[in-house]
Amino acid sequence: MKLTCYQKSRKEDTVIGTQFREIRNGMNRLLCKADDQTGVVETQGPHKASYVFTIPIGGTFTVTRDNIVSLVTRTATVFTVVDTTAA
């Protein structure tokens, strides 16, 4: 399933029709890119694998970077992040 379409230009690819924004933790580390309206999330996994999935309103997922565990929650309007330190 293709979630974004790209228009090829000479300098760079331009994303059309998406409202992705960067979701970052308290240490300003990138967790994912997400569309607040549709709930579509794009994240990079190990070995540069890209994962795309949809989170329903009220849904959550976690991202662990070093010793920071970030709980990302989709509300009716935005994605929120709550960080905790891993034990």
What's the mean pLDDT in 56-74? 93
- CA dist 65 and 30 (Å) reads 10
What pLDDT does residue 38 have? 93
- Compare 27 and 86 and report the one with higher pLDDT: 27
What's the mean pLDDT in 52-62? 95
For residue 55, the Cα-to-chain-centroid distance in whole angstroms is: 10
- On whether the pTM is more than 0.85, the answer is no
Q: Mean pLDDT over all residues of the chain?
A: 81
Cα→Cα distances 75→4, 12, 49, 55, Å: 22, 32, 27, 10
Span 10-51, pLDDT tens digits = 344 444 456 899 999 999 999 999 999 999 999 987 788 889
Grouping H, G, I as helix, E, B as strand and the rest as coil, residue 48 is: helix
